[in-house]
Chain A
């Protein structure tokens, strides 16, 4: 048994909230840089240049990459040989978010109730997904999610007879409907299989996979590549103002499902695809 104090979790989550909102991961920066050479539209190139400049200003002058610093999604992979000391793990994660958003000059975008809509003024609560894993470590992924793109995400409960063509149609439908609203070039997270909620969670988690890392499953890798090509032929382009770079990557996760179903979730993320991963 290994003991981890909640204070270490609070401090870590706080730092990760700040890091995620000021610096993109290297794979995202590389993908944005590469996109310029593929863009045919002059306006599209100009926008991609602005996005690169935006990243430089964000890290140099400590201004968040985007003003929508998101609702904080946290994936916690908790080793079954870890004992948490000093309080509740869940409360520690919320406290880390609270401190990170305050100290990091990040926007407080969370309302306490979806209908009554009063701002909680500290960006809590976070949305936390736990996984119990083997070992004596805790893996944490902090992924602040902006709602311009979140609002354009979809779940499709397809029939088994819809097959892989149905999946392709679903993803393309979601991307086309999103268009300029989702701040393209986007990253498209897809979950196929499982149940209604499982596919949505897989789509979210898929967004945290590096954009230059394809699926290990041969047919899924092919599907990711084919969909990316198709999405980039829609003409939506950077900022939705026309062009050949509409998405930087399609990341697909799959899971076994029921004999009667083919659930597909499409979680769309803008070019500010933020996540930070650490292990305690």
Chain B
């Protein structure tokens, strides 16, 4: 099913999304990848505050290439999500609603998605030039010293993603691959 959805969104909208849905997202999301996740995780362990409001947030696992003059961002496709598996359940338990990345997730992440009525979206890996066209603005909001790995606030318009793991725990990477397997 094809849908248009405003981000951030809540539990109710998350519950309606089904594995395999093609969704155009518009609104505000945050970027964080390896180093920013590690830093957020350590901040939480020390009892500190996260650099943005995690409630209902969508985090995009992405580190862009530098922007040319007059453009909001450079190439901006997803990175491999599994490297964030160690940190994702803690953030989901704090209210994070969605993740955008690519590739497999651990069973712990799948359980955290179900427990918190969250969703895991995939964007098309290696289509960074195309995806950058759906990003309207970008602003570094934390960890500027991390360069490409800093946390950025992005305004997006019709950003194309596919629901891989839905709130019920269905996983498109498993179901779709089985459907086309000819071995």
Contact = CB atoms under 8 A, between A and B. Distances in A.
Interface of A: 40-41, 43, 46-47, 50-51, 53-55, 57-58, 61-69, 105-109, 117, 119, 121, 146, 148, 151, 179-181, 183, 230, 233-237, 239-244, 270-272
Contacts, number: 168
Nearest to A238: B124
Contact of B147 (A68, A119, A240): A119
Contacts of B147: 108, 119, 121
A242 B126 contact: no
Given A235-B180, A235-B181, A241-B176, A51 B132 contact: no
A185 to B, nearest CB: 10
B180 A243 contact: yes
A233 to B, nearest CB: 4
A183 B180 contact: no
27 contacts: A40-B180, A41-B176, A41-B180, A43-B22, A50-B124, A54-B127, A54-B128, A62-B68, A63-B129, A67-B75, A69-B65, A69-B75, A105-B65, A106-B66, A107-B148, A119-B146, A121-B147, A148-B80, A148-B102, A148-B125, A151-B80, A233-B183, A235-B179, A237-B177, A240-B122, A241-B173, A272-B126
Contact of B177 (A53, A151, A242, A271): A242
A53 B65 CA distance: 19
B94 interface: no
Contacts of A67: 62-65, 74-77, 128, 148
Interface in B145-182: 146-149, 160, 162, 164, 172-173, 175-182
